[in-house]
Amino acid sequence: MQITLQKSSVAKQSSIQITGSKSESNRLLLLKALYPEISLENVSNSDDSNLMTNALTTGSDLVDIHHAGTAMRFLTAYFSVQEGREVTLTGSKRMKERPIEVLVKALQELGADISYVENEGFPPIKIKGKKLTKHKVSLKANVSSQYISALLLIASKLENGLELTLEGEITSVPYIKMTLSLLDEIGVSSSFEGNIITVKPKNNSEQSKTLTVESDWSSASYYFSIAAISEVGTEITLSSYKENSLQGDSVLVDIYKHFGVRAVFNDNSVTLKKVSSNLEPLNLDLKNAPDIAQTIAVTCFALGIPCDLTGLHTLKIKETDRLVALKNEIEKLGGSVDITEKSLHLSASTTINELVSIETYHDHRMAMAFAPLALKTAIIIEDAGVVSKSYPTFWDDLKSIGFKITE
- The C-alpha atoms of residue 35 and residue 10 are separated, in whole angstroms, by 44
Q: Establish if 215 lies at the interface with ligand S3P (CB under 6 A).
A: no
The CA distances from residue 72 to 50, 147, 220, 229, 354, in Å, are 13, 10, 24, 36, 39
285 marked as part of a ligand binding site: no
Nearest distance in Å: CB 264, ligand S3P: 27
Is residue 291 at the binding interface for ligand S3P, with CB under 6 A as the rule? yes
Strand partners, 115: 126
Q: Minimum Å distance from CB 53 to ligand S3P? A: 16
Q: How far apart are CA 292 and CA 272, in angstroms?
A: 17
Is residue 318 part of an annotated ligand binding site?
A: yes
25 touches ligand S3P (CB under 6 A): no
Minimum CB separation of residue 266 from ligand PEP in Å reads 27
The answer to whether the beta carbons of residues 309 and 343 sit under 8 Å apart is yes
The sign of the torsion formed by the CA atoms of 108, 89, 173, 177 equals: negative
Residue 290 engages ligand S3P in binding (rule: CB under 6 A): yes
- String marking each residue 294-333 x if it binds ligand PEP according to CB under 6 A: ------------------------xx--------------
335 is in an annotated binding site: no
**Which are the contacts of 257, defined by CB distance < 8 A and separation ≥ 6?**
none
Q: What are the residue ranges of helices labelled H in 86-144?
A: 101-110
Quick one: which of 117, 120, 85 has its CA closest to 100? 120
Applying CB under 6 A, among 8, 219, 314, 349 the residue interacting with ligand S3P is 314
Whole-angstrom distance, CA of residue 128 vs CA of residue 104 = 13
Instruction: Based on the residue annotation, tell me whether 291 is a catalytic residue of this protein.
Output: yes
**Strand positions, DSSP E, 275-388:** 282-285, 307-310, 337-339, 344-346, 356-358, 379-381
Instruction: Tell whether residue 23 is a contact of ligand S3P (CB under 6 A).
Output: yes
Q: 74: closest CA among 110, 45, 103?
A: 103
Residue closer to ligand S3P (CB basis): 24 or 329: 24
Measured in degrees and rounded to the nearest 5, phi and psi for residue 3 equal -125, 155
Q: Does 291 bind ligand PEP (CB under 6 A)?
A: yes
Q: How many residues bind ligand PEP (CB under 6 A)?
A: 9
- Known binding residue 84? Answer is no
Of 44, 90, 146, 237, the residue at the interface with ligand S3P (CB under 6 A) is 146
202 near ligand PEP, rule: CB under 6 A: no
- Cβ atoms within 10 Å of 191's Cβ, excluding its own: 11
Q: Would you say 172 is a known binding-site residue?
A: yes
- Check the annotation: does 400 bind a ligand: no
Stretch that binds ligand S3P, among 144-152, 224-232, 255-263, 337-345 (CB under 6 A): 144-152
Q: Identify each DSSP E strand in 177-220 by its residue range.
A: 190-193, 196-199, 209-212
Q: Residue 14: which of 324, 312, 397 has the closest Cα? A: 397
- Residue 49 interacts with ligand PEP (CB under 6 A): yes or no: no
Query: Given the rule CB under 6 A, which residues bind ligand S3P?
Result: 23, 70, 144-146, 149, 171-172, 175, 290-291, 314
| Binding-site residues for phosphoenolpyruvate | 22, 69, 98, 146, 322, 365, 389
Query: Given the rule CB under 6 A, which residues bind ligand PEP?
Result: 67-70, 291, 318-319, 365, 390
Positions annotated as catalytic residues are 291
